[in-house]
Structure 1
Amino acid sequence: MTKKPEPQYQPTGALGPAQREAAWDRLGKDQFDVVVVGGGVVGAGIALDAATRGLDVALIEARDLASGTSSRSSKMFHGGLRYLEQLEFGLVREALRERELALTTLAPHLVKPLRFLYPLTHRVWERPYVASGIMLYDTLGGAKSVPGQHHLTRSAALRLAPGLRRNALIGGVTYYDTVVDDARHTMTVARTAAHYGAVVRTSTQVVGFLREADRVVGVQIRDSEDGRRGEVRGSVVINATGVWTDEIQRMAQQRGRFHVRASKGVHIVVPRDRIASDTAIILRTPTSVLFVIPWNTSHWIIGTTDTDWNLDLAHPAATKADIDYLLEKVNEVLVTPLTADDIQGVYAGLRPLLAGESDETSKLSREHAVARIAPGLIAIAGGKYTTYRVMAEDAVDAAAGDIPQRVSPSITEKVPLLGADGYFALLNQTPQLAQAYGVHPYRIEHLLNRYGALVTDVLDLAEGKPELLQPIGAAPSYLRVEAIYAAAAEGALHLDDILARRTRISIEYAHRGTDCAEEVARLVAPVLGWEDPDVKREVETYRARVEAEKLSQTQPDDVSADALRLAAPEPRAQILEPIEG
């Protein structure tokens, strides 16, 4: 039997065990203006947008924040250079404006500039063609915080990226984009929404809708941890479930105005020393592009694939064919080819694309759509990670007609995420913080780029417990106190939440988190109220998940990979699969 969690210090906007219980009570008692279904970046963004307009908001997520698409992206907060060739100028302009906002105001602690090399392979025509495209890219969104393009000879490009084969390019162009830890960013958006009054509750599954005549007036919910059932009433429900959009619409017994098609994107993670380059690289493929992106200081992320997926939506599986494709494409340009033995991490995610515009997923529009499915029910789908804030604004605007009170305009372009205010000052005070807490300055910088100005909340949890400022044994990039903070303030309820999303241990180490699972479980046990049997179950469940994923990655096709992945146990024991209507 799980014991009562120990009380913990809770900073503003915290999502810990105490808030979780209080949230369940409020969900059952309060009348909300907006009920948001889905805890990805769009759902979290909608909750933040509505809360900062002065509305009463509830955000409900069946699993964990960002547990679907929003933790499995290419880790870029970008305009989408390739969309210029598809003539989607409005989308690119919108995304680049959001990139600039994130870099300067909303999330400078999480969104970082990143230099890219575009290798040129054709003489005469390609350089002016690429130059004009990147010039448009540099100016469309009014970007002022990153340098413009720079042209290189082949020798200069190879000095920048000596890991590229000499015959793989005839020159190059550098330009800037940005990189982001998508899962941490989404979680921070949700915490910021909670800071402004939203009720945020994960492991809470929508299992039905409440109706009065033809109007949707709320949702029926089920706790994914203990099976409790309840009801949440609201003036309007917003379906922001991404690839689950059609499932939720069927549950509401409403015909959707659009359909969502899932496209699988697979990425591999390799150690930094396997590719000699001082810059990220973007490569053209016959159907799309391939990114080689620096991840932290010790890894590269290489991706992505783009294929239809019609199987389990919660746990998309990478196949051997996916991995071989990525290795084949990147090895076409590398001096020293990568092998399967170089891969330390693999992850697969699903893009929610609006269906019906093309048979090829790579050409489906990344524009988003908002529709009033029924009185009191709004759906939003499509779009791209970078434009989450615009999508959120459009969704709340569409929902305003179902809210009795006057709804103020969106102000989220002026609302920094938690940790942004004070970040730059603290960055300048890194030596003083390091001395005050007895932590090496590089650790402080690492923490600042994960928590921003909340870094002192994290470190203060180790007061009187200096052992918590030591690194996790088998994952030394992270301090023990970070695992505790994930459970105490960031809404983590299971090992998978901590190892796969609050940290990225599951993709950054060859053991994928199995070697530190027990240490982390015992660290967070007092916070989450786990007894020894709970610790054992969490560790076994996590290790089974990793083993299932590794086995699935040896399979030749999606069906066999999916079957192996689904054999692993689900940490949220009471979640309903498939969703019941």
Structure 2
Amino acid sequence: MNARTTPDTALSAARRARELAGLRERTTPVDLVVIGGGITGTGIALDAASRGLEVVLLEAHDLAFGTSRWSSKLAHGGLRYLATGNVGIARRSAVERGILLDRTAPHLVRPLAQVVPVFRDTPPLGAVLPGLGFVAGTLLSRLAGTGADRLPGARIVGPRRVAAYVPGVRREGLRFGHVNWDCQLVDDARLVTAVARTAAGHGAQVITRARVVEASGTQVTVRDEAPIHDDDAGADDAREFTLSARAVISATGVWAGETAPEVRVRPSRGTHLVIDAAALGHPEGALTVPVPGETNRFCFALPAGFGRLHVGLTDVDAPGPIPDVPESSDDEIDFLLDVVNRALATALNRDDVLGTFAGLRPLVDSGASGETADLSREHAVLESENGLITITGGKLTEYRLMAEQAVDLVVDRTGLPASPCRTADLPLVGAPGHPVAVGAGGATSHGRLPASLVERYGQEAAAVVTASLLDRPLEPVAEGLDVTRAEFSYAVTHEGALTVDDILDRRSRVGLAPADRAAAEAAAQEAVGLIS
């Protein structure tokens, strides 16, 4: 594809202002308005735009501001749901994982070994069940079309191999380990950004800091909440406008009730700890430890960026007002440490916790009582009396399928002319086959590309450096962090970042550890200064 036909996937403050101004003056309906810039909303925008529909996505905060950045960063095959008898979610998850791994986002998804150590004091059932589940998971992978060359089959390994995967494992009493292969995202927020930019390349208008204050099935009232200077400030009503649409979809997750009060969501909080990977000997696999007294719940220590581990995951009821940024409780932190320490040679303590993060799962409230861990992870597509369509629930791995179903419903309800869904074979920005910046290469005129940059940007890696408006583009943003100055520049010029928080907390994820955040803040401020 030549330069003339190469899609414009760059999101910037200038593009936002231009498109927002056009929407203010608009007198005819757009085909579809999507409310919410998480993985579900951006997935819907991509699906609809790639079918030829005119799409506007409106996000009150920033891309991946909510649940989509607080996940375990796994594209998993639904093994847990197979164990609970929910074959449907397990099968769909395995299929969608294969699509991400092989076609749409191979640069953002990588195989990951899950290791469950078995000790002499492990109960007999606990010694057997993980292996049976892993074998079932392997069968599910094969039925979904993922071959052994992509994800090896489940197996049992000896103590030495367990320790090779996770050097910090407790050796005393270690008998063997169950190993299963699943998939890990380089980062969940990066996936959201890639989906949003791919949608923009197909013509979708992706507008952040645009809060929908009122919505129906054919109209939304929008308030521009972008940062403004005092001399630009006007009355709040001067920043509001109304936009008409043939259809409106709310994909706001745990906030679904704000636009559709009849939609009932029961949030569940999942907490993770950020730990220095050196504490476990820089593991190559995910240490997976059964929760005592449970048959299908585990805590794990997952390798992560910047030489960190993410230890998770809790599943606790989170009633009451929904915060913009959930916080981990002391009980959850202690719970995670207690469970994972059962399998470690040297116990972790509070001093080892470099940071925490928590997300709220948008579980559909069916009225059933009991623990949130036992509630269904099925998604729901609901239609209000005023015609507003709401989609909520579900799993990150299934975002593409959820989007396909939502857009199918819109096309069916409105009769809009649209081509069939294409997203199962549509490479995201940075993936092989996408027409933007094909060929990452190994070096630029500034020097050889860091492996971490290629891992995060795939085929775009060289373009990230070439496009940098900051000097010393390959220099780290702070000592000890494998994020370059070029990446902070690219966040502003191509990924829609408008503030320091956007860069540190969502585009780079440096902010997951407060000390890292503080060290990189000056470079982020410099990048934000590029916005004219």
Matched, 1:36 2:51: no
- Take 1:125 and 1:359, find their aligned partners in 2: how far apart are those partners? 24
Cα deviation for residue 475 of structure 1 reads 5.8
Counterpart in 2 of 1:379?
A: 390
Matches within 5 A, 1:337-356: 337-355=347-365, 356=367
SS at match of 1:33: strand
8 Å CA contact 1:50–1:396 kept in 2: the answer is yes
The answer as to whether partners of 1:95 and 1:387 remain within 8 angstroms in 2 is yes
The SS at the match of 2:376 is coil
CA distance in 2, matches of 1:478, 1:418: 19
Residue 292 (structure 1) aligned with residue 292 (structure 2): no
Alignment of 1:38-437 (within 5 A): 38-121=36-119, 122=122, 129-140=129-140, 141-144=144-147, 145-167=150-172, 169-180=174-185, 181-209=187-215, 216-225=217-226, 226=228, 227=236, 228-250=239-261, 255-256=262-263, 259-276=264-281, 277-285=283-291, 286-287=293-294, 288-296=297-305, 298-309=307-318, 310-355=320-365, 356-374=367-385, 376-421=387-432, 430=441, 433-434=442-443, 436-437=444-445
Deviations 1:144-186 (A, max 9, x none): 2211112113344234433122346432111111111000101
Cα distance in 1 for residues equivalent to 2:173 and 2:431: 41
2:17 — aligned with what? Answer: 21
Distance 2:68 2:471 in 1: 34
Q: Deviations over 1:518-553 (max 9, x none)?
A: 33202320x223xxxxxxxxxxxxxxxxxxxxxxxx
Aligned 8 A contact 2:427 2:433 in 1: no
Q: 1:461 aligns with which of 462, 467, 483?
A: 467
Determine if contact 1:265/1:351 at 8 Å carries over to the other structure. yes
Q: Secondary structure at the match of 1:478?
A: coil
Confirm or deny: 8 A CA contact 2:37 2:58 kept in the other structure. Answer: yes
* One-letter amino acid of the counterpart of residue 188, structure 1: A
Post-superposition Cα deviations, 1:87-127, rounded to whole Å, max 9, x if no partner, equal: 01110110111111111110011111111112235476555
Amino acid at match of 1:17: A
Asked if 2 retains the 8 angstrom alpha-carbon contact of 1:235 and 1:402, the reply is no
Distance across 2 between alignment mates of 1:97 and 1:186: 19
Displacement after TM superposition at 1:376 (Å): 3.1
Specify the SS of the correspondent of 2:501.
Answer: helix
Task: Note the alpha carbon deviations across 1:325-357, whole angstroms, 9 max, x for none.
Answer: 211211122111112222222111111111134
Matched, 1:515 2:519: yes
Structure 2 spans left out of the alignment, 5+ residues: 1-5, 229-235
Q: 1:246-268 deviations in whole A, cap 9, x for unaligned?
A: 12113xxxx33xx2111111111
TM-score (norm 2): 0.89
Judge conservation of contact 1:243–1:313 (CA < 8 Å) in 2.
Answer: no
CA distance in 1, matches of 2:418, 2:446: 48
Output the CA distance in 2 between the equivalents of 1:495 and 1:13.
22
Q: Which amino acid aligns with 1:186?
A: V
Letter in 1 for 2:245: G
Deviations along 1:403-435, one digit per CA (max 9) or x if unpaired, are 242333211101110110259xx99975xx32x
How many percent of aligned residue pairs carry the same amino acid? Answer: 37
Q: CA deviation at 1:511?
A: 1.0
Q: 1-side partners of 2:298 and 2:338: how far apart?
A: 14
Q: Please report the TM-score for the alignment, with normalisation by the length of structure 1.
A: 0.82
Amino acid at match of 2:347: P
SS of aligned partner of 1:498: helix
Letter in 2 for 1:511: A
Secondary structure, counterpart of 2:267 in structure 1: strand
> Is the CA contact 1:462–1:469 (under 8 Å) kept in the aligned structure 2?
no
Whether the 8 Å CA contact 1:38–1:60 is kept in 2: the answer is: yes
- State the match for 1:450 in structure 2: 456
**Residue 273 of structure 1, CA deviation:** 0.7
> 8 Å contact 2:300–2:340 — kept in the other structure?
no
Taking the aligned partners of 2:328 and 2:372, their CA distance within structure 1 comes to 17
Gap change, CA 1:378 and 1:409, over 3 Å in 2: same
For 1:487, the equivalent position in structure 2 comes to 492
Structure 1: how far apart are the matches of 2:102 and 2:62?
28
Contact 2:439–2:459 (Cα < 8 Å) also in 1: no
C-alpha contact 1:60 1:200 (8 A) present in aligned 2: yes
Structure 1 gaps, min length 5: 1-9, 211-215, 530-581
Q: Partner of 1:561 in structure 2?
A: none
Moved more, 332-341 or 465-474: 465-474
Cα distance, 1:368–1:159 mapped onto 2, change above 3 Å: same
Q: 1:475 to 1:312 in 2, by over 3 A?
A: farther
Q: Distance in 2 between matches of 1:489 and 1:152?
A: 45
Question: Matched residue of 1:500: which SS?
Answer: helix
In structure 2, the residue corresponding to 1:234 is in which secondary structure?
strand
User: In 2, distance between residues paired with 1:489 and 1:428?
Assistant: 18
The answer to whether the Cα contact below 8 Å between 1:105 and 1:416 also exists between their aligned partners in 2 is yes
